[in-house]
Structure 1
């Protein structure tokens, strides 16, 4: 059923030590072996999961410090294994499992639905992999996006989705949990929500948020070292005392400054910046009533430039986006002092459209001294077509995704308002037809009402320091 263990070679050792050095890890404590294994699933005799078992070769055959379980849909190749191999050379078993229907594992791939049932079966595999008699930890979770999809009206009432509701574990888990993410990670809202709920329950939880997108977050600065420290304390019980100065570590972009915080979000104070019809953003509310408009055409949807994407994305030059005719742009004068915010920027708009079927995309960006703009955070919202009679102004408040950023002296703050962000989000057809089957496209003119009593403004949660 299982092949013989293969010792790590000299080339592998050099590669592992370079990986460890580049991530600031302490020296290795042992060598390790790799064994391909097949894991039969109890109750499904015709289904076996393929896995690679990494086992430390310890002095005097001491037991492993613990077992790290990784269930993965991406295979067991060298590129993926490189992020795991530093752990067996520091005393941990690592079991890298290809989920069913992927990379040689039996059964049909059905992410998140079958994983929930397969996970406990993999954990209880002492019969097929008898050496895994140790405390266990789990790294990674790639299905958090399903929560967003499943909480659309009516979608979460179908029994089909019941096994996919992994967020329910937040109400029962007692494990110590470390959450790494990035400000440009597609799943940052899920991770922040997980941190918030686990904190409310009094669980042992910590979070690191870097200047990363999704692919960078797992290997970002200090994350591997933090993970090893976390396992040493809570799995291996090797470490006494605190391993972190505070539960939350964040990167303040713009300054590229790392900071420790007792919780997230921290206490802040509001800074209000008002929009005016000249495309300006300032602290003083305009004294006269005015308005600015743009027309969104679904035949030529406003394109995605950067942002919270699964692949690519991140911080991007969005100067071209700000120059499009189907957006509104509001920019401050160059700042005469630094402004730092921590948390969710809020945009408040008095908005109207004669076509009730519209979306709003609002982005916060920074403009440097050369006039080049880069995105920081954003929000997208499909407006309720029954929010008001067509053409009637409505006050809309939208919270952007959490971020931490310092606008330095000499830079400018920019707000971009548009009707789409495609293909990140499916654009509104404008016709009221089904998003899935509709074929009729209708343009929509958006009007943002400005000036006295309009309340159209950006509210930044600025640092108290």
Structure 2
């Protein structure tokens, strides 16, 4: 049996704080109850631990249930946000600890059991006296648990709100020969230590961060988890040895089934989120299949409170209406926050229609509408013993994420900078950003990092979007880079800037230059990289821009 506290002063205070910080709609009633440590049987005889928050029956009779499945525990911030906050707004809430975490049976193997366990939870819920219709909600891994069951969801599941997540989650980071080290090692250490005394608060306060940062310098990579934890961690090792194309992940990759999902979906994303590109693809697949799908992208990174506010508001508004069988609030297919002018705009699709790629050519120190016919190549040396650092952009944690001033980074000798003249009119860029870079390197392997920045009138250079690709040069080689998508207006008087370098550590593991397996490489070798930008090899960034409207004659 669970416990039903009569009066929870700390919890009520937390609920009020969450409402104020996240701008939630007013509570229907503060008189909510909670049953803790309920036991849910799984298909294979294991037991999952859960909490059930119930709304005030007098104000919310026959309320639907928000199901939240999490590996991060059922107390603390998650309890306030997904338990109390939603119950106070008229929903039953079932928060379930994933297998092997916080009292649930078994071993936690990330992504491994979420489909079968999720369907077990829904079967159990259907047998409860309060088990009415269901909505699924949650962020990051909590969003992945939604996708794991979405294509096979029973009829009582009426809506889902995945936030900063995707149907294949960590596989987004596992491109062949490329390791997103900061996210992979940071999350591995966090999940490995979260159940130690004070684990969640230690993570929030950054206690132990220095040891993890030092471990990111470990060579070879295969030993970084041991350097951080004192022992190997299964998920870290799995990711190092099995890339996203490996059949090893077949059962964990739910992206092939996205088009089969018939549940209405409201996807909440952020321009600086680590899962942005995959989340946009999931949305496009849903729309191509004719599904009821909506997309919101804000100026947020992974742990930004603005994104959390958006998912909770959509949960108690749009998703709860679906689950109650009433007309949901109107939502456009696509709602985007356009950075630079800081305004929300609605569109019919992603990417929006009417934006066509405009080439901005790299020239020595310049970004130009046309290449210089006989421009000599520009070169730099990348030294993995003193790697080009990562700065801002998509990060798992809030600290240092998002747009930051890049001038210190751009002053380094291993970062090339290409800058336009001051703009004589606004340049609106919305959609997929790509780059074509011609390069030559003196090692069998190198990385290419390309970043787009907005330089204001004071010279401050803010990063907009970027990405890194692995290159195996064959003489002078043309390299395509898909930067993360964006919606941004470069204002009149600002300048457009492109950075080119060969690394961003520790966000990405260093390329040591020897061409061997990256997980076991141990000897750093400096690499000389040449960037070509003449008429025959016109390196450029392609910005999706809407043509100016012509004035009538």
What is the TM-score of this pair, normalised by structure 1? 0.90
SS at match of 1:380: strand
CA distance in 1, matches of 2:173, 2:434: 24
Alignment CA distance shift 1:304-1:156 (3 Å): closer
For 1:332 and 1:156, locate their aligned partners in 2 and report how far apart those are by CA, in whole Å. Answer: 37
Which whole-Å CA distance do the structure 2 matches of 1:104 and 1:112 have between them?
18
Q: Residue 407 of structure 1 aligns with which residue? A: 490
Match of residue 146 from structure 1:
170
- Equivalent residues of 1:359, 1:381 under 8 A apart: yes
Q: How does 1:427-446 map to 2 (within 5 A)?
A: 427-446=510-529
1:259 to 339, 345, 355: 345
Partner of 1:338: 426
Q: Secondary structure at the match of 2:453?
A: strand
1:235 match: secondary structure: helix
CA distance in 2, matches of 1:43, 1:261: 43
Which of 41, 48, 71 is the matching residue for 2:69? 71
- Gapped regions of structure 2 (runs ≥ 5): 145-167, 178-241, 549-553
Equivalent position to 1:274, from 350, 361, 381:
361
> Is residue 398 from structure 1 mapped to residue 486 from structure 2 by the alignment?
no
Instruction: Give the distance between the partners of 1:40 and 1:222, measured in 2 at CA.
Output: 30
**Aligned match of 2:37:** 37
Superposition pairs of residues 45-444 of structure 1, within 5 angstroms = 45=45, 47-59=46-58, 62-64=61-63, 66-84=64-82, 85-126=84-125, 130-140=128-138, 141-142=140-141, 143=144, 144-149=168-173, 152=176, 155=243, 160-216=248-304, 219-220=307-308, 222-239=310-327, 243-244=330-331, 246-267=332-353, 268-277=355-364, 279-311=365-397, 312=399, 313-383=401-471, 385=472, 388=474, 392-444=475-527
Q: Aligned pair in 2 of structure 1 residues 132, 157: CA closer, same or farther (>3 Å)?
A: farther
Deviations 1:307-360 (A, max 9, x none): 111113211221111111011110112222211100122212221123231110
Cα distance in 1 for partners of 2:502, 2:12 equals: 53
How far 1:408 moved relative to its partner?
A: 1.0
Which residue number in structure 1 is paired with residue 538 of structure 2?
455
State the distance in 2 between where 1:14 and 1:441 align: 53
Q: Which structure features the higher share of strand residues?
A: 1
Looking at structure 2, the residues matched to 61 and 393 of structure 1 have their Cα atoms a distance apart, in angstroms, of 67
How many Å apart are 1:7 and its aligned residue? 4.2
Of 9-18 and 164-173, deviating more is 9-18
**Number of equivalent positions:** 453
- How far residue 149 of structure 1 moved from its aligned partner, in angstroms, is 4.8
Cα distance in 2 between the residues matched to 1:184 and 1:373: 16
TM-score by length of 2: 0.77
- Structure 1: any 5+ residue segments left out of the alignment? none
Structure 1 residue 417: Cα displacement: 0.3
Report how far residue 126 of structure 1 moved.
4.4
Q: Secondary structure at the match of 2:319?
A: helix
What's the RMSD between the two structures over aligned residues?
A: 2.4
Displacement after TM superposition at 1:134 (Å): 0.8
2:276 and 2:305 mapped to 1: Cα distance?
10
Structure 1 residues 324 and 101, CA gap change in structure 2 (3 angstroms): same
Is the contact made by 2:34 and 2:51 (CA closer than 8 Å) also made in structure 1?
A: yes
Pairwise CA distance, 1:19: 2.9
Higher helix fraction: Structure 1 or Structure 2? 2
SS of equivalent residue, structure 1 residue 274? strand
Contact 2:333–2:348 under 8 Å retained in 1: yes
Residue 363 of structure 1 contacts residue 378 of structure 1 at CA under 8 Å; is this kept in 2? yes
